[in-house]
Amino acid sequence: MTSKQESHLFVLIHGLWGTPQHMGSLEESIRNYIDPRENALFLLPSQNSKFKTFDGIEILGYRALLEICQFIRKHNNSNDSKKKQITKISIIGYSLGGLVSRFVIGKMFTECAEYFEGIEPVLFLTVASPHLGIHFFNPSSSIVRAFLNPVLTTLGSTALGKSGRELFIANRYSSILVQLSEGEFIDGLSKFKHRTVIANVKNDRTVAFYTAFITNHDPFMETGNTINYSFETNIPGSGYSFSLPKIVDLTQLDPSDKRIIESKPMSLNSKLKLYLLLPCLFLFFFPIVLIVNISGTLYRHFATIKYRRMIKNGDLPNEFRERIGISDRLETYVSGQYESILKENDNEDDDLITNDNDADLINSGDVYSGSIDNNTTLDEINSEDQKWQEFIKKYSTIVDDENTWFERFDNLPFDNKRSTILKNLSALNWVRVPIYVKALNAHGGIIARTGIHESTQPSSVAAVQFVGQIVNYLTSH
């Protein structure tokens, strides 16, 4: 537990095409559940928004790292006696942000060691992040998927800039994901007390289960999502608003146990809507989206030419190491060396925090309301703690050899790069959580990316609240 004189910094990093606001629901959930004694501070890096997310993991990682270093320096060197020194850090990444976070972690303890000296790395958690890259496997030999997969792969690795090529591991030059599983990056990950991944089991049309879960099995893809789910009944946590989170019990999955899907005939009205919608999508919406993405890719390509030359020549890491150590010239370095990549901030305080309404609260290091009620009895606390212990133990070993559930399913045909990434990441201990979010787009729903409102699916709200509670439990144990 953090002392009264210390603070715990939580860094939340958004994904592709994202903005810091996408992490707002997660931030609010963690605030609501985190133990007040952690003296939690929140930083949502803001320099990688929208088209800038096309620039590639290395550029995105350095941008985020610079913001984190700025925040820590400004906070810990403040003369304000009310501010508590940052002594702990936890990093939470969503989608592409999980990979950017891993780059940041690798550089934290090497090129930025002076900033993180005396700061304990506590929790690294990702939500729907493609740790093994993106590839549209076709285990069910679907004719439609056989046609669409190469088309989508080509579009994704072309229209999403350098980041897209890296995510799809499109060619021999796109090896950053392999690098992130080796050397300083895997060493940095190993320093964290806890590592957790949360993966969608269905309706994530961007990041499949296997890559978010870090495994070479995907029961849901293999069965075309017709497999019958069994959910955990002894879910830890409390205070869920509408329903318990739907954690899938992988040990109970049986490929022969299929869900009965009733096919209802479409009404004439529904057919007319469908026939009108499809031409609109293919003739107008999809071409516009494609043009916008390709335009963004071209713009970011020319905007980062200087930066990519520095990467190619190996100059950037040395330049960064040299400059990052000069604390009082860091901001000059940011605006001078990265003028085409980082926007120059007019207000030094606001550039560190994305939620203006909470700026004073975060800067002052004040604490937030936690999940522990003063009326909670000791027996209730012990019982809840026991549930968390059992849950964490089960899902820390869910892919270990003593579990046989994955033997019922085929291995995915990974190439050498993905096999290497899987092997390297699996050398570390992970808490792996499979969750079902009932949403048309579970990739956004798993973090309630557009915020929580009346129309938000209960399972989406439950997933966000679960993340807040597991963060609270792991950071306090």
Catalytic residue positions?
95
Those residues with Cβ within 8 angstroms of residue 420's Cβ, 6 or more apart along the chain or in another chain: 178, 181
Cβ atoms 45, 68 nearer than 8 A: yes
DSSP 69: H
Distances (CA, A) of 66 to 30, 71, 157, 307, 460: 24, 9, 27, 15, 32
H-helix or E-strand containing 410?
Answer: none
List, in sequence order, every residue forming a beta bridge with 250; answer none if it has no partner.
none
Coil, strand or helix at 166:
helix
| Nearest CA among 65, 74, 77, 76 for reference residue 112 | 65
**Cα(310)–Cα(324) distance, integer angstroms:** 16
Those residues with Cβ within 8 angstroms of residue 168's Cβ, 6 or more apart along the chain or in another chain: 133, 134, 135, 153, 156, 157, 174
What are the tokens at 320?
């960064």
> Angle of helix 458-475 relative to helix 24-33, nearest 10 degrees?
50
Rg (CA), the chain: 22
DSSP 389: H
Cβ atoms 87, 119 nearer than 8 A: yes
Coil, strand or helix at 332:
helix
**3-state helix/strand/coil string of 28-61:** HHHHHHCCHHHCEEEECCCCCCHHHHHHCHHHHH
Task: Answer left, alpha or beta for residue 141, where phi above 0 means left and psi between -120 and 50 means alpha.
Answer: left
CA angle at residue 425 from 420 to 430, to 5 degrees? 155
The sheet carrying 40-43 orders its strands as 40-43, 6-13, 85-94, 120-127, 194-200, 431-436, 246-247
Those residues with Cβ within 8 angstroms of residue 122's Cβ, 6 or more apart along the chain or in another chain: 8, 88, 89, 90, 192, 193, 194, 474, 475
List, in sequence order, every residue forming a beta bridge with 248; answer none if it has no partner.
231
- Amino acid making up residue 429: N
